[in-house]
Amino acid sequence: MADAAILGASGYSGQETLDRVLSHPELDLLYLGSDSLAGRPATALDQRLSRNGGKPVPSFVTNAEALAGGADLVFLCLGHEEAATLVPPEDGIVVDLSGAHRLKDAAGYEEWYGFAHPRSAELDEWCYAIPELTPPSSRLIANPGCYATAALLALAPIAPAIDHGSVVVDAKSGVSGAGRGLKASSHAGAVLDNVAPYRVGSHQHAPEIAQALGFPVCFVPHLLPIRRGLLATCYVSPTESGLRERLEAAYAGSATVTLLPEGAVPDILRVQATDAAEIGLFEDRSTGRAIVICAIDNLGKGAAGQAVQNANIALGYQQTAGLRLAGVLV
């Protein structure tokens, strides 16, 4: 068994991480961190936390207390700038769900995130980990962003067989991808009955995708009028045949990523509230281009689920321990 601490547990990704830690057969929740709820019981976040199979859920402490408490595993579910300032504990596994440690080039933080990284000399100590593609290789783990996860699951296995200058990623996410903080663009009046692109040409996941692939892509995110779920449609020009075989080889035996049969379309509803991913491959008969589509839940495989999966690998546990893998038939 390992002890876990969650910093920023009152946010969307923090709550989702908490849910998985509480159901994990090998993790004990030691600290529940939130500066806004410090000193209050867990039920201040959700009344359902009064019951956890008879096991008490600890009350909230400050994020600083949770970080310094000596847990074997620490999840950082904080804003980018706040996570960037933290000094990681000397021992144990740390999984950062923010973007604070995803980029290797410190200059990228000023350009794409709008702040100078305060601990830029230590960025090389963090590994960027997508379990199916690049499993964690150090105890400090940078968890990928939701858009980047979907795009990379679709594109990374076929990257050697496509024209790198041809790639377009058209992606759409539920409103929870914008975080729990109040913004005019995420109010119901702006989201309902609407689909809107945002941060066109300047989204912070663009350099993350380019860093992992080794080449830039044209990436445009959109906000969907749904709470959760993400769909990335990737358009590429093949330079070789055998794209399906490459995807099959990458995800053969994966419990989390499913390459759908020919003609089957990935569906947000099937992956919503899960830590699974669906991928579909199609050919555009008019142009000969290939279309690779990936559906994930932005809070699941795009955040908390992937963080727990990365932690499982780092701790030597079964990859799927604590994960949600099955959706609900509707």
Give the integer Cα–Cα distance in Å for 324 and 274.
5
Query: Vertex 292, ends 288 and 295: CA angle to 5°?
Result: 155
Q: What does the pLDDT look like over 174-231, one tens digit per residue?
A: 998 665 555 666 666 677 778 999 999 999 999 999 999 999 999 999 999 999 999 9
Our answer to whether residue 146 is catalytic in this structure is yes
> Is residue 63's pLDDT more than 80?
yes
By the 8 A CB rule, do 171 and 233 touch? yes
Element (DSSP H or E) covering residue 312 = helix 305-315
pLDDT of residue 186: 67
Q: Give, in order, the Cα–Cα distances in Å from 44 to each of 59, 127, 166.
A: 9, 34, 49
pLDDT of residue 50: 84
Catalytic residue among 77, 127, 146, 234: 146
Domains, the chain: 2-144+301-315 (3.40.50.720), 147-298 (3.30.360.10)
Element (DSSP H or E) covering residue 213 = helix 205-213
Residue 142 pairs in a beta bridge with 96, 128
Q: What does the pLDDT look like over 223-259, one tens digit per residue?
A: 999 999 999 999 999 999 999 999 999 999 999 999 9
Residue burial 276-308, b: 16+ Cβ < 10 Å; e: rest? bbbbbbeeeeeeebbbbbbbbbbbbbbbbbbbb
Residue burial 132-150, b: 16+ Cβ < 10 Å; e: rest? bbeebeebbbbbbbbbbbb
> Is residue 150's pLDDT more than 90?
yes
More confident residue, 145 or 179: 145
